[in-house]
Each structure stands twice: as structure tokens, then as C-alpha cells.
Structure 1
Amino acid sequence: MVERILVPMDDSEHAEAALEYALDSFPDADITVLHVVGAPSMMMGEATSLALADDFEAAVEERAEAVFERARGLTADRDREIATVAGVGHPARNIIDRAGEYDTVVIGAHGADRGRATRRFLVGNVAETVSKRAPVPVVLVR
């Protein structure tokens, strides 16, 4: 029986579809939405601005809140509550590291960075990595 589900979310339609799938397919499960913000580096524009923030944790939560609000909007019609957690770092690694705390991961087949060359593939890089390395079952949603 699936009691705890991790749903990684970003700004993509596939991520929303994954949350909707989890809500509809597992009506009695506890669902946690995870949004991962990239770690600060010189090569990543969005994450670099986080490094300059006075309160790094508050800046991460602020970035994640827009995704969490969209997730809460999807749950409102279903009279469901979700837990939310923000992570920092590489999305696939962050998801895999947390996956063992859950019974399954429900993830969108492509994330917000789909486009360019990834349009040619059936599964995005993060989803593929999670499906291969997660210690629990992974459901890919398109």
C-alpha cells in the first residue's frame, strides 16, 4: 500500500500532471511536493542571485513558494492537503536522496528545461536519472 508519495515539481506542465496523477490515483496517501532550487555557482544565473541574498534559506523558500502555491491550487478542488519542502542543489540527486523516506516517487517525464535537444527524448534527464537510481518505485507521468 502506498502511504507516502514524493512529487518533485518545477514550472512544467508535466510536473503539474504528476501531482494531479498522484492526487487522483492515491487518494489516501500523504503527498509531499519537493521543489529544488539550483545550488549557487558562477555558471547558473538564478542560483547565483541566491548566493548574494542576505538570508539564503529565506531566498530559497521564496523561490519555491510560487511552485508550492500552484501545487496548493491543484489540491484545493480535491479537498486535499500536501506537505511542501524546498531543496537546494542538483534536482535528480536531491530527489534520489529523499526518495527513501517515501513509498514511491511520482515525477513528470520532462521538466521546465525541456526544449532544445530534450524534445527528441521521451524522458527528461532528471526523470530518467531518478527512475534508474531511486530506491523506491518511480511513476513517470506525461
Structure 2
Amino acid sequence: MVSRVLVPMDDSETAGRALRYALDVHSDAEITVYHVVGSPSMMMGSAVGLALEDDIETAATERAKPVFDRAHEVAAEYDTEIETQVGLGHPTRAIVARADDYDAIVMGCHGEHSENITRGFLVGNVAKTVFERSPIPVTTVR
């Protein structure tokens, strides 16, 4: 029986569909939406700003807020409460590191960055790597 489900989520449409799928299929499970903000680095796109923040955790939480607001809106459509958590680091590593605390992972097949770049691929790099490395079942949603 699946009682705890991790739903990694970003701003992509497929992430929203993954949350809806998790809420439909695992309606009795505890759902945790997990948003990973990149580690602060002077070389990493949107995470560059984190490197300049005094309080990285607060800044990461602020960056996750739009994703969590959207997740709560979706959960409200199902009249369900969800938990939200913020992670820091590389998305694949952060998701796989959390996997042992859950019974299943449900995630979009590609995220916000890969949707525009890899239209021809079925599964994005993060989803593919999580699928390959996860110690628990992973469902990818298109």
C-alpha cells in the first residue's frame, strides 16, 4: 500500500499534471510536494542570486512560493491537504536523497527547462535519472 507520495514539482505543466495524477491515484496517501532550488553558485543560472543572499533558506523558500501556491490550488480542487518542502541542490540528487522517506514518487516527465529544449524526448533528464536511481517506484506523467 502506498501511504506516502513524493511529488517533485516545478513551474511546468507536466508537474501540475503529476500532482493531479498523484491526488487521483493515491487519494488516501499523504502527498508531499517537493521543490528543489539549485545550490548557490556563481555559475548556475537562476541560482546565482542565492549565492548573494544572506539567508539562503529563506530565499529558497521565497522562490518556491509560486510553485507551492499552485500546488495548494490544485489540492484545493481535490479538497485535500498537501505538505510542501523545499530542497537545495541538484534536483536529481535532492529527490533521490528523499526517496527512502516515501513509498512512491510521482513526477512530470520533463520540467520547466526541458519542455522547450527537448520537445522530441519522452522523458527529461531529471525524471530519467530519478527513475534510474530511485530505490522506490517512480511514475512519470506526460
The 5-angstrom pairing of residues 67-106 of structure 1 reads 67-106=67-106
Distance in 1 (alpha carbons) for counterparts of 2:124 and 2:14: 10
How far did 1:45 drift? Answer: 2.9
Tell me if 1:34 matches 2:39: no
The alignment of Structure 1 onto Structure 2 pairs a total of residues equal to: 141
Aligned twin of 1:4: 4
SS of the aligned residue for 1:100 comes to helix
Deviates more, 1:63-72 or 1:46-55: 46-55
Tell me what 2:45 maps to.
45
1:123 matched to 2:123? The reply is yes
Q: Unpaired runs of 5+ in structure 2?
A: none
1:97-142 per-residue CA deviation (whole Å, 9 max, x = no partner) reads 00111000001001001222x2221100000000010000000100
CA distance, structure 1, for counterparts of residue 45 and residue 18 of structure 2: 27
Deviations 1:45-73 (A, max 9, x none): 32111111121111010001110000000
* TM-score, scaled relative to structure 2: 0.97
Give the TM-score normalised by the residue count of structure 1.
Answer: 0.97
For 1:83, give the aligned amino acid: E
Paired residue for 1:109? 109
CA distance in 2, matches of 1:139, 1:105: 6
Root-mean-square deviation (Å): 0.7
Could you tell me which runs of 5 or more consecutive residues in structure 1 were left unpaired when the two chains were aligned. Answer: none
How far, CA to CA, are the matches of 1:91 and 1:77 in structure 2?
Answer: 27
Distance (whole Å) between structure 1 residues aligned to residue 136 and residue 71 of structure 2: 23
Give every structure 1 segment of 4 or more consecutive aligned residues whose post-TM-superposition deviation is greater than 6 Å.
none
Q: Equivalent pairs: percent with the same residue?
A: 60
